[in-house]
Chains A and B, each alone.
Chain A
Amino acid sequence: MDLNYSPEEKAFQLEVRDFLKENYPKDIQQKVAKGIALKKDDYVRWQKILANKDGWVAPGWPAEYGGPGWTPVQKYIFDEECGAANCLRTVAFGLVMLAPVLMKFGTVEQREKYLGDILNSDVWWCQGYSEPNAGSDLASLQTKAERNGDHYIVNGSKTWTTHGHYADMMFTLVRTSQEDRKQKGISFLLIDMTSPGVTTTPIITVDGMHVVNQIFLEDVKVPVENLVGQEGEGWSIAKSLLMHERTYIAQVPRSKKQIVRLKELASKERYNGKPLIEDANFKAKISAVEIELMALEMTNMRVLSKLSSGDAPGAESSLLKVKGTEVQQAITALLMEAVGYFGMPYVKESMTEGWQEAPIGPEEASVLAPHYLDWRKSSIYGGSNEIQKNIMAKAVLGF
């Protein structure tokens, strides 16, 4: 048991810190710090800078595919430094979700065709799993892919597709057979978003923003070489990558930064003539979240430590997802509470770039309630927290 970084790890930490200081664009940092909506260009710009730095955009990729080939501890340090520097979260769909699938299940041609573009953010991916009637019960999905010569013909609809309107490609789960257990008829298919028959319609979320979409697929022709793995193997492929998705959702460094933000805000706001942070109640509430986060961080490190010795993440990823999102949600609530009445004004433009007017009340207050409301999503997506608890009940407790 040793919490301290080795000299090499410390050197690495400094290298990352210096690199971020010099290369992370200030305008993007400002946006992240203020909670302003990011545009595709912001993501691409930063991801390209990271990619050019020895593949830093893909901490989880082995060196043979262009990743930095870091140890779990190095990845952790990198995450930590990115969180502290208010870095934007790189988009997971290609880098964190699809890439490991292609490395493990894809053909050589698929890897050659897609991995480079993912690394360089030249091709954008979205995740087409959920359907209107297949949410938590993903295996009940109905989007059909029928083989017709060297093509599949795909019909159905996908929903909640994050960044679907930005994406060039979508990795999907489709039904290729109706027989047998419902999980067995599912295949993993890559669909070009520009194919005839693909339409994308926006879904506006509670904060008034457009991030998610419904996608309609009508007689979409998809070449058979876009099938990943074997026909009918889609479910086990998807399951293996959901673990990655969930671990990614925990976001400890980001929550740490949010607590710093909360404390800054509470120091500026006044209550009974004194800084709000000196109010015993409010202070205690911040401490309670900090304690949760402290525990989560240590648990996260214990999981990492186990992973470095070669184990795969199991039910731990569910734990990290549930606790990680609970902490995030608690912080969004406190940020909103900190500004009292000023959480009420809704100025949609203040959440987007280029808003120049004077704030109403504390600067940035108007984004806090929309963020609180929007962040309810974190306990729903990536497999709802109820589903994660079901998984833990089965895997850990044996029910």
Chain B
Amino acid sequence: MNLEFTEEMVMLQDSVNKFLQNEYDFETRQGLSKTGVGYSEENWQNFADMGLLGIPFEEQYGGFGFGQTGLIVVMEAIGKGLVVEPYLASVVLGGLLIQRAGNEEQKEALLPELIGGNLKLAFAYVERQSRYNLTDVEFTAEKKGQKYCLSGSKSVVFNAETADKIIVSARTSGDNFTESGISLFIVDKNAAGLSSRDYQTVDGLRASELTFDNVMVDMDALVGDVDGAFSDIEYVIDAASAAICAEGVGVVTQLREKTVEYLKTRKQFDQAIGNFQILQHRCVDMFMTEEQMRSLTYLAAIKVAEGDGAERTKSVSAAKVYLGDARSIVGEQAAQLHGGIGVTDELDVAHYVKRLTMMNALFGDRDYHLQRFSQA
């Protein structure tokens, strides 16, 4: 057993962190988040040049083959830097879905392009009524001759605005809430009948509401087996959940460090407020949460890499429950311990808190995962 990162991973970690330190200060991030598409194409190309877009993919498609462990390293850095580029949407959700469910032709056509930074993907799976239930798919795909006709709406699709292709989950048979009967299709963003309403999210990212009005796609738009996509979707959402737990670890680390630093410099009652033991204990709670979260995140990564089954489900949900706890133990406390300044838009801490808050809901909140854990 060895729970340390390999030398390769440490190098990866160093290079991402260095890039973020040099090119990605908080003001730059805020600027990117507020203008246009919400991130920098130049950074995206830099990510491609650094090899970041190929981290989890197999070498035969131009990737590094670092799998879930590689993702953990990159995502933790993304959390630390509050990165707004569409890594989660395109590489983690879109890319992993193609790698797992796509046929050989699709993988060869799409993954090298994605890894090279020339193609971006988004994954549309949330529906107005679905909340966190991945089997609640009302969106339909109907076979018409040699084509499929896609109809329905998808919600809160991250980075759909700038994606070249959208992967969408649809019901091809069966009743709502059944696992079988769900299929995946890959659709051009500018397909006739596909319209989108784009917006900013609370944590400074971009998402869209998508409406598919009889969008016709060819048979080869199908990703994976007809009616059999559920386990692929579940896998990818688990992999992405484990990845955002790593992002959460990055966010929590920053919040803890910044709060500790503030408590050492902020003076009230003629002393650093860090002298008050109650505040020290709150920081210790943050520290303990951070370390426990890191442990569960690594465990989840290992179990995701091992494949399907109850162990994966349990460990991913466990990590996600901890991420939910971090919202209150770390996020709320970080704001509180900064006093008034902690609730201002000007302070970076407030934006880490926003990200942590939104991450609770992403891929199922604390309650959902606690329940899923207990039932797995």
Binding site for B on A (CB under 8 A): 130, 133-137, 140, 159-160, 203-206, 208, 212, 269-273, 276, 281-282, 285, 329, 336-337, 340-347, 360-361, 369-370, 372-374, 376-377, 379-381, 384-386, 389
Within 8 A of A (CB), among B335-371: 335-336, 339-340, 342-346, 350, 353-354, 357-358, 360-362, 365, 367, 370-371
In the complex the two chains form, what is the Cα distance from A386 to B339 in whole Å? 11
Given the known A-B contacts A206-B345, A273-B177, A276-B131, are A130 and B199 also in contact in the complex, defined by CB atoms under 8 Å? no
CB pair A160 B340 closer than 8 Å: yes
Question: What number of residue pairs across chains A and B have CB atoms under 8 A from each other?
Answer: 135
Contacts of B350 in A (CB 8 A): 206, 373
CB pair B358 A369 closer than 8 Å: yes
Within 8 A of A (CB), among B257-296: 267-270, 273, 276, 278-279
In the complex the two chains form, what is the Cα distance from A308 to B251 in whole Å? 50
| B187-214 contact mask (Cβ, 8 Å, vs A): 1 or 0 | 0000000000101111100010100000
Of chain B, the residue at the smallest CB distance from A276 is: B131
CB pair B201 A346 closer than 8 Å: yes
Binding site for A on B (CB under 8 A): 126, 128-129, 131-133, 136, 155-156, 176-177, 197, 199-203, 207, 209, 267-270, 273, 276, 278-279, 332, 335-336, 339-340, 342-346, 350, 353-354, 357-358, 360-362, 365, 367, 370-371
Of chain B, the residue at the smallest CB distance from A204 is: B345
Contacts of A344 in B (CB 8 A): 156, 201-203, 207, 358, 361-362
CB pair A377 B340 closer than 8 Å: yes
Q: Taking the nearest CB of chain B, how far is it from the CB of A110, in angstroms?
A: 30
Contacts of B132 in A (CB 8 A): 271, 340
Q: Taking the nearest CB of chain A, how far is it from the CB of B246, in angstroms?
A: 20
Given the known A-B contacts A271-B131, A285-B367, are A206 and B354 also in contact in the complex, defined by CB atoms under 8 Å? yes
CB pair B367 A273 closer than 8 Å: no
CB pair A381 B367 closer than 8 Å: no
Contacts of B365 in A (CB 8 A): 337, 340
Q: Taking the nearest CB of chain B, how far is it from the CB of A380, in angstroms?
A: 6
A-B contacts, 13 of them at CB < 8 A, read: A130-B340, A140-B268, A272-B133, A273-B176, A276-B131, A285-B367, A341-B131, A344-B201, A344-B202, A360-B209, A369-B202, A376-B342, A386-B279
Interface centre among A130, A212, A345 (most CB of B within 10 A): A345
CB pair A135 B268 closer than 8 Å: yes
In the complex the two chains form, what is the Cα distance from A373 to B344 in whole Å? 10
Given the known A-B contacts A206-B354, A282-B367, A345-B156, are A136 and B269 also in contact in the complex, defined by CB atoms under 8 Å? yes
Contacts of B357 in A (CB 8 A): 336, 369, 372-373
Other than the given A140-B269, A269-B131, 13 more pairs (CB < 8 A) read A135-B340, A205-B345, A271-B132, A271-B133, A281-B367, A341-B131, A341-B155, A345-B199, A345-B201, A360-B197, A369-B357, A370-B202, A373-B202
Q: Taking the nearest CB of chain A, how far is it from the CB of B331, in angstroms?
A: 9
In the complex the two chains form, what is the Cα distance from A381 to B341 in whole Å? 11
In the complex the two chains form, what is the Cα distance from A372 to B327 in whole Å? 12
CB pair A373 B343 closer than 8 Å: yes
Which among B269, B340, B367 is the interface contact of A159 at CB below 8 angstroms? B340
